[in-house]
Each structure stands twice: as C-alpha cells, then as structure tokens.
Amino acid sequence: MTDANGAPAEAAPQIRMQVLAQYVRDMSFENMVAQKGLQGGDVQPDIQVQVSLDARKRSVEHQYEVITKFKVTSKNKSGSAETLFLLELDYGGIFHVENVPEDQLHPFLLIECPRLLFPFVRRIISDVTRDGGFPPLNVDTVDFLALYRMELARRAEAQKAAQPVQ
C-alpha cells in the first residue's frame, strides 16, 4: 500500500501493535460420557461451535483486553441427541494498540486481535477434547472479518426493526 501511495511513513503515524499477554481466562469442560456412563465408542457426534467476542479498554493507555469466547457442544447425532461433552473457553489477550484511527479501532480489535489468538484456542480445544477421551477436535479456521460484517448487518437489522416502535 505504501508503494502504491508513495507517501512517506510519517504522514500517517506507524501503527503499533503488540501482544502483552495471553491467557485462558475461564474454562469449563463437562464430559457427559464419563459422568453419566454413556456409551462412547462409535457414536456420530454433531459438533457445534459458537464464537463470541469481547473487547474492553484497560486503565493503562493504549491497552485493550480482547476475549474470544468459544462454546463447543458435541451431541449424539443419532437418536436421543444427548450431550457428549460441553466445552467453554474464554481465551483472552492484552494488546498494546497505538495509532489506529478511532473509526478503525473497533474492527481492528475484533478482527485482527482474535485472529492472533485463534491458533492458541484451536490448540487448547484440541488438547482438552483429546484429554477427555474424544478424538481431538480441530476447529475450522474462523473468518473473523466475515463474522464482524455479519454482526454489523445483524445490528443494523435489529436497529431497523426497533425503529418503528420508537
């Protein structure tokens, strides 16, 4: 972009971004197969992954905490659809973000940051499911950009729906 533009770097201040910390913030794994003594083995699991995101400003300037929330539900596909396991993971990171224009900060925090965190989440989910005695679950890559757009659309929709009432 800079090439095409040809403009020198100092025109727009350099965007600085740094991961200061990353961590499991909260985790819950409920292994119903083990708890209820269900027949494991050759069941067909139906896995659903729910993702939600959260970002908040910290008291220190330029610092933000971004949390990705994953909820993985595995159900028995055939028959009674009882839950096989339920995994919830809040994985967060503290980011130092500088010089991102105000209007771009929101998408930056909810697209770029989660993108950085995702590989770790993926590994944890894989490990935990394997440790629970299931085949390791490798979550498909999440397209955070698409996710963001969808959410924007959903909100606009919701706002439109809400308008006439007001």
Partner 1 sequence: MLGLGTLARKIFGTPNDRKVKSVRSLVARINDLEPEFQALSDEGIKQKTAEFQRRVQEGGESLDDLLPEAFANCREGARRALGLRAFDVQLMGGIFLHQGNIAEMKTGEGKTLVATFPAYLNALAGKGVHVVTVNDYLAKRDAEWMGKVYAQLGLATGVVYPFQSDEEKKAAYAADITYATNNELGFDYLRDNMKASKEEMRQRGHFFAIVDEVDSILIDEARTPLIISGPSQDRSDLYTKVDKLIPELLEEHYKLDEKTRNVTFTEEGNEFLEKRLLETGLLPEGQSLYDPESTTIVHHVNQGLRAHKLFNRDQQYIVRDDEIMLIDEFTGRMMRGRRLSDGLHQAIEAKEGVSIQPENVTLASVTFQNYFRLYEKLGGMTGTAATEAEEFMEIYGLGVVEVPTNRPVARADEHDAVYRTAREKHDGIVASIKDAHERGQPILVGTTSIDKSEALSDLLKTAGIPHNVLNARQHEQEAQIVADAGKLGAVTIATNMAGRGTDIQLGGNVEMKVMQALAADPAAHPDEVRARIEAEHAEEKERVKEAGGLFVLGTERHESRRIDNQLRGRSGRQGDPGRSAFFLSLEDDLMRIFGSDRLDKVLSTLGMKEGEAIVHPWVNKSLEKAQAKVEARNFDIRKQLLKFDDVMNDQRKAIFSQRLEIMETEDLSEIAQDMRYQVIDDLIDQHMPPRSYADQWDIEGMHRAVQDKLGLDAPLAKWAQEEGVDQDVVRERLCEASDRQMTEKAEAFGPETMRSIEKQILLQTIDAKWREHLLTLEHLRSVVGFRGYAQRDPLSEYKTEAFALFESMLNSLRQDVTQKLAQVRPLSEEEQQAMMRQFLDQQRAAAAAEAPVAPAPQPAAAAPQPTPELVGAEAGEPDPAAWGNVARNDPCPCGSGLKYKHCHGRLD
Tell me which residues touch partner 1 (CB under 8 A). 26-28, 30, 32, 36-37, 48-56, 69, 71, 73, 83, 86, 88, 90, 106, 110, 142-143, 146-148, 150-151, 154
Which residue number, 69 or 96, has a Cβ lying nearer to partner 1?
69
Which residue number, 12 or 150, has a Cβ lying nearer to partner 1?
150
Minimum CB–partner distance for residue 78 and partner 1 (Å): 18
Minimum CB–partner distance for residue 32 and partner 1 (Å): 6
Which residue number, 20 or 152, has a Cβ lying nearer to partner 1?
152
Element (H, E) at 29: strand 16-31
Minimum CB–partner distance for residue 54 and partner 1 (Å): 6
Which whole-number Å values give the CA distances from 47 to 2, 27, 72, 78, 115, in the listed order? 43, 18, 7, 13, 22
Q: What is the DSSP letter of 59?
A: S
Which residue number, 11 or 35, has a Cβ lying nearer to partner 1?
35
CB of 72 closer than 8 Å to CB of 41: no
Minimum CB–partner distance for residue 58 and partner 1 (Å): 12
Alpha-helix runs per DSSP H in the chain? 2-5, 32-36, 102-107, 113-131, 144-162
Q: In what order do the strands lie in the sheet with 16-31?
A: 16-31, 83-98, 63-76, 45-57
